[in-house]
Structures are given as structure tokens and as C-alpha cells.
Amino acid sequence: MSGTLVLVRHGQSEWNLKNLFTGWRDVDLTEQGRAEAKDAGERLKAKGLSFDIAFTSDLQRAQKTSQSILDVLGQSSLETIRQQALNERDYGDLSGLNKDDARQKWGEEQVHVWRRSYDVPPPGGESLRDTGARVWPYYIHTIQPYVLSGKTVLVAAHGNSLRALIMALEGLTGEQIVKTELNTGVPIIYRLNADSTVASKEILEA
């Protein structure tokens, strides 16, 4: 067995609350989102975890979630790397649109395909495969070496950038990933084997 990888989707954002496609738009956390981030920190603390390094995206909702978790753990100044490769999937022309309005305009089925399929991009945006093509190499080259050297690593990012990472990490098929949903502020603890495969997975639900 080697190290520990903790993935967490940011707390509720202002556009999650308003039900808008967000993607690369840089919106803040809501009050509930800030509370979810603190709770995530409390649950990790109750597990006795502390981190050696943290990774987050270029977007404030993920950065603030990471910082809240580290504050709760008494690790406010921990080295934290912000990386655009971990950003949310680019929602392209859908960014800023209401998800229910989009369903009315294009139909439930089409919107679900854009949101959850592996290889169908939303208009002008990234498919999950496109997102994975930037997330996975970054994970392999920069994050995974820490985990394999026995470190405990936090990655605070986004629903779809983390779905892309989880797909590769767990070897899920395009069909399995359609059903994978990540709730805001819920940490997932992976222990990895020395060969980089997953030894165990624990979801810290609220």
C-alpha cells in the first residue's frame, strides 16, 4: 500500500444554487457551500487525516473549499498548487444558461447526454473525454507521484473534472460514468496500492 488521495467537489456555488451551467465561469461559494466545505474538513479531521500537499483548480469555488478544509485541519499554510488542468469541464455555449430552460429548449435526453455522457461535447464546450485529456496527464505526472511516495494528498476540484479522474482511477466504462454523480462537499478517500491501483475507497457523506 502507498499513500492516500482525497478528492472533494467544491461546496455549493452561487450558480449551483441558481441552477445555471457554470463550467469555467468563476463564481463564488454560497453560505451553504462555505458550510459544506467546513463540514468536509470536520469529517476528514474526525478520520484523523492531515495532508502533505493540496491541489486545486484555477477557480475560486474549488480554492475556497480547499482552504476551508485546511483551516479546519489547522493546516492553513499548507503548500497548495492551483492548476487550470483541474478546472471544471468547459460548458461552452451552455455556460450561464439555466439547466431547466435548456431541457425545455433541447429536450431532457439531449441535456442529459451533454451533462453525463463520456464523449458528446456540449456546443462549443468539452466532452468528459476532452476534460479527462487534460486532467489525467496532470494527475499522472504531478499528483500521483506524491501519493505513490506515501503522501496524503488533497484534490479540491469540480463535478466533472473529478468524474473524469475517477473514471480513469477506477477503470470505469463510458456507460458506468454516466451514472456517477458527485455531491458538493463530500470527500472521497482513496488508498492506493504501490502499483497505483485503488486499494480502498471511502465516501464521507454528510
Angle between helix 99-106 and 108-116 (nearest 10): 120
- CB closer to ligand 3PG out of 43 and 158: 158
Residues that contact ligand 3PG, how many (by CB under 6 A)? 9
- CB closer to ligand 3PG out of 91 and 138: 91
User: Applying CB under 6 A, does 122 fall inside the site for ligand 3PG?
Assistant: no
Binding segment for ligand 3PG among 17-25, 130-138, 168-176, 189-197 (CB under 6 A)? 17-25
Residue 85: closest CA among 135, 24, 130: 135
Q: Is 19 helix (H, G, I), strand (E, B) or coil?
A: coil
Question: What is the rounded distance in angstroms from the CA atom of residue 180 to the CA atom of residue 7?
Answer: 14
Task: Establish whether 61 is an annotated binding residue.
Answer: yes
- Residues within window 147-166 making contact with ligand 3PG, judged by CB under 6 A: 158-160
Task: Establish whether 30 is an annotated binding residue.
Answer: no
DSSP code of residue 152:
E
Q: Would you state the torsion angle of the CA atoms of residues 132, 136, 139, 142, taken in this order, to the nearest 10 degrees?
A: -120
- Residues contributing to the site for ligand 3PG (CB under 6 A): 21-23, 88, 91, 115, 158-160
